Amino acid sequence: MSLPSAPTSRSERYIGRFAPSPTGPLHFGSLVCALGSFLDAIAHGGHWLIRMEDLDPPREMPGAAERILHSLHAHGLRSHFPVVWQSKRHDLYQQALQQLRARDQVYRCSCTREQVRKAGGHTRDNCIGASGPYALRFACAGTREGFADIWQGTQQQAIDEDPILKRKDGLYAYQLAVVVDDIAQGINHVVRGADLLDCTGIQQSLFRALGAEPPHFGHLPLVMNDAGQKLSKQNHAAPLDDSKASLNLIQALGFLGLRPPHELAANTPAHILAWASAHWQRKAVDRHNRLLD
């Protein structure tokens, strides 16, 4: 499988990001994703940003955002620019919706989940319209999106349902916020977990609808537990032990295909990251989800 090369022109300097949700502390799978996105940016002479995706207050854990930032910093992973908080960017999301509405690319929808299930999906044609509280949906069903993923290879995704951009409860949806923020921050490389691969086509379509070129995408393999599930907060993955940051980094590097020398584990996170940035190779990453060795 051939791997896309990093940009070389100054006008396309690599800008990547890590965007956790504050629904709980970071776990080892989160660290692998953060580390992979960080190393790919640094190894290609780029910037790496942290964005806190705090859009859904009912799901957030008090203090989780601060704990996430503390864990990242303990592991030497610091944003090159001030951390962006999605909860403070609602005006940007509303402007994007207005832009899409002006082009007749969003519509009101009062359909329930049961109605959507019975219809086998949701499009503007089978929507019941707005007969009460409504969500806003992006009209893109029936299109196809293709892209060359850095690790997962050539992808073709058919979009068979119009995604929600603003929920009935008034909260902005992930699909809208992530694209608007990537555009606003100039993100041109998105390195994240393979669990988000399937929503990439919708996001590409939304980038274009908002007049922006989609970034390069790279979906890293997921760390799995013994039950065959990805490590996640929902599956009660153990929080990172920040007091063992150097050991955690060495283990994460191994998962990402690097083979650091044994003595490196006795060094600081900053020293380990410097070594890893100099030795990072995309082709070393095994794209398959798997258990931690």
List helix spans (H) across 19-136: 28-43, 64-74, 90-102, 113-119
Residue 215 has pLDDT above 80, yes or no: yes
Stretch 153-181: mean pLDDT, rounded? Answer: 97
The band of 149, judged by pLDDT with boundaries at 50, 70 and 90, is: very high
Q: What is the DSSP letter of 246?
A: H
Transcribe 155-196 into DSSP letters.
EEEE--SPPEEE-TTSPBPHHHHHHHHHHHTT--EEEEEGGG
Q: Is residue 254 part of a domain?
A: yes
Confidence band of 4 (pLDDT split at 50, 70, 90)? very low
More confident residue, 263 or 120: 263
Positive or negative torsion for Cα 194, 4, 212, 147: negative
In a domain, 159, yes or no: no
Tell me what pLDDT residue 166 has. 98
Confidence class for position 2, pLDDT limits 50, 70, 90: very low
Q: Where in the sequence is the domain holding 221, given as residue range(s)?
A: 12-97+181-291
> What's the mean pLDDT when you consider all of the chain?
93
Structural domain includes residue 170:
no
Residue 222 CA to residue 78 CA, distance in Å, equals: 22
Report whether pLDDT(274) > 80: yes
Q: Which domain CATH number covers 185?
A: 3.40.50.620
Label the pairing between strands 223-224 and 144-149.
unpaired
Query: Residue 227: which pLDDT band, with cuts at 50, 70 and 90?
Result: confident
| pLDDT above 60: residue 10 | no
Residue 173 in any domain: the answer is no
Residue 93's pLDDT is 98
Give the whole-angstrom CA distance, residue 141 versus residue 122.
8
Residue 11: is its pLDDT beyond 70?
no
Min mean pLDDT across 66-75, 106-115, 214-223 is at 106-115
Residue 69 lies in a domain: yes
**What is the rounded CA–CA span in Å between residue 68 and residue 31?**
10
* Contacts (Cβ under 8 Å, ≥6 apart) of 170: none
Identify the three-state secondary structure at position 205: helix
The answer, yes or no, to whether residue 234 has pLDDT greater than 80, is: no
Domain count, the chain: 1
Residue 252 pLDDT more than 50?
yes
Residue 164 located in a structural domain: no
Q: At CA 17, angle to CA 233 and CA 75, rounded to 5?
A: 65
Across 272-278, average pLDDT: 98
In a domain, 84, yes or no: yes
Task: Give the pLDDT score at 275.
Answer: 98
pLDDT the model gives residue 235 = 66
**199 in Cβ contact with 268 (< 8 Å):** no
Residue 221 in any domain: the answer is yes
Residues whose CB is less than 8 angstroms from the CB of residue 274 and which lie 6 or more positions away in sequence, other chains included: none
| Backbone φ, ψ for residue 155 (5° rounding) | -125, 140
Q: Average pLDDT, stretch 174-192?
A: 98
* Alpha helix (H) residue ranges in 229-268: 245-255
